[in-house]
Structures are given as C-alpha cells and as structure tokens.
Amino acid sequence: MNIILAEIKKSYKILLAYPVEIAFWIFSPLLWAVPLVFQGKALIGGLSSEKFGEIAGTPDFIPYVLIGAIISTYMASSVWSMGFAMRDETFYGTLEHILSAPVKPVYILLGKAIFNSFLATTYVIIQLGICIIIFGLKITLYKIVPIVFFLILLIAGLYGIGFAAAGLTLLVKEAHGLLHLFEYILFLFSPIRYPVEINPITKAISVIIPLTYALIALRGLLLNIRFDFWKNSLILIGIDLIIIPLGLYIFSWVDRHTRQKGTLGEY
C-alpha cells in the first residue's frame, strides 16, 4: 500500500511540473468531439435524427458524441499514460533503480494506474462541466451509484489493457505507432463516436471490448436511455476477469524477457 501511495504522490508532483500536459488531456477529447458535432449537423441538417435514434437509442447526436468523447478519456489514459508509465522512467533515467528495488514491478505499475484513474476522473468531471456550460449537455446524475459502479468496471478492464500496453512499450521501445493503431482499433470497434450496430463487422467485434458495455450503460444512465443493467454489468465483470490477469501476465512476461535479453534500460 505504501508503494502505491508513494507512486501516486510522486506522479502527482511530477505532473504539476508540466501544466501544458494537464490542459492537453482536458481539452483534446473535446477538440476532437466538436468537429464530429458539426459533421453530424451538416449531414442531417440538425442536431437530432430519428434514424440515428433507432440505432443509438437517442435521437440527440450531440450528447451521444460528447459522452463518448468524455468516457474515451479513460481509454486514452490506459493506452497512453499507463502504456508510457514505465517508459517514462527510462526517460527520467530511473527505470533501473525502481526495478532493482525489493518490490514486484506490478505494484509500481498499479500505483501509476490508480493515479491515472484519479487524474482521468478529474479530467472527466471538468469536461462534463464544460459540456454542460458550453454545449448545454443535459445529464442525470441522480443514479450516481450505478454510474460509479460501471466506471469502476470500465477502469478495471482498462487496467488490463494498460498493463499490457506498459509491457509492450518496454518491449518495442518506440511504441507510439503501435499504441496509435491500438487506440484507433478501440475507436473503430467500440461505440465511442458512433453506434457500432451500423455495421455487422464492427458490431461483432465490439462485443469483446469492455468500452462497448460501459458506454451503453453510462450513456443509458446519463442520458436516460433504456439498457439492460444486469447483462451489461455481468459481461463487463466477465471481460475484466479475463483481461486483468491477461494484462498482468503480459507485463510480467515482458519484464522477465527484457531482463533476459538485456534490453530493460535501452531506448
């Protein structure tokens, strides 16, 4: 527990030294959502479409896109922040010193993951505030307990992805391209920007991505759209139970592999 707390404190203090980074993470999801809003408006001649409603469960395009953008902050956090969490230590020159400490590296990674979740949640709250004020987003927060419940399930699943991404960046070194590809795949096959039901292939692949169920549930709770609570929560729990051990296994394998190959501290 001490290690996780120390990691959170350290990461927080280092982040404060880079205020531009904070602004980037707050505004970038909104910046990519706004053109989508305009695009939708240009396509359907307004902000609401019955046809869109038949597939997405709500005819209102703006709230659908904005909530997708805001929740995708957690995805970006797991892919990029967790993915580069150990890699950053190489840039600082401290990786070998933390990996020669008498602690399993996964605890250090867990500390970084929890810090990133707190950070992403802070960003999400600020983004929601901006969307409510500027875009007139109307959300219902009275179902706060199920919202937090689904967020926890989502974040836990994304930890699995983040652990694997952290391992991947230790292995591949220059992993920007690979992580971008990974992120684009998640964007394509989960209902962040559009309802995946529009295409049979995206619909079929989306069933194995935790974001799909979390977005259905969170949009349902925030926008009062009907959804199957138990089905979505049980599937998410099931995916989490597979993806977290898998992510941990990948990270531990890479840790051992790089210690064997001698590429741990290489850049």
Binding footprint of another protein on the chain (CB under 8 A): 2-3, 5-7, 9-10, 13-14, 17, 92-94, 96-104, 108, 256, 259-262, 264-265
Q: Name the residue nearer to another protein (CB basis): 131 or 264.
A: 264
Instruction: Report in angstroms how near the CB of residue 197 gets to another protein at its nearest.
Output: 46
Distance separating the N- and C-terminal Cα atoms of the chain: 30
- Spatial CA neighbour of 266 closest among 170, 160, 165, 150: 170
Cβ neighbourhood burial of 116 (10 Å; 0-12, 13-18, 19+) = buried
Tell me how far CA of residue 239 lies from CA of 157, 204, 213, 234, 261, in angstroms.
7, 15, 10, 9, 32
Task: Give least dist CB 239 to another protein, A.
Answer: 32
By C-beta, is 84 or 150 nearer to another protein?
Answer: 84
Assign 3-class secondary structure to 142-191. Answer: CCHHHHHHHHHHHHHHHHHHHHHHHHHHHHHCCCHHHHHHHHHHHHHHCC
Closest contact distance (angstroms) between CB of 7 and another protein is 8
The minimum distance between CB 166 and another protein, in angstroms, equals 17
As given in the structure block, the two tokens for residue 209 are 């991505």
Looking at the chain, how many residues does it have? Answer: 267
Nearest to 116 by CA among 153, 154, 162: 162
Residue number with CB closer to another protein (118 or 184): 118
Residue whose CB is less far from another protein, 24 or 92: 92
Give the residue with the Cβ less far from another protein, 8 or 158: 8
**Nearest distance from C-beta of residue 163 to another protein, angstroms:** 19
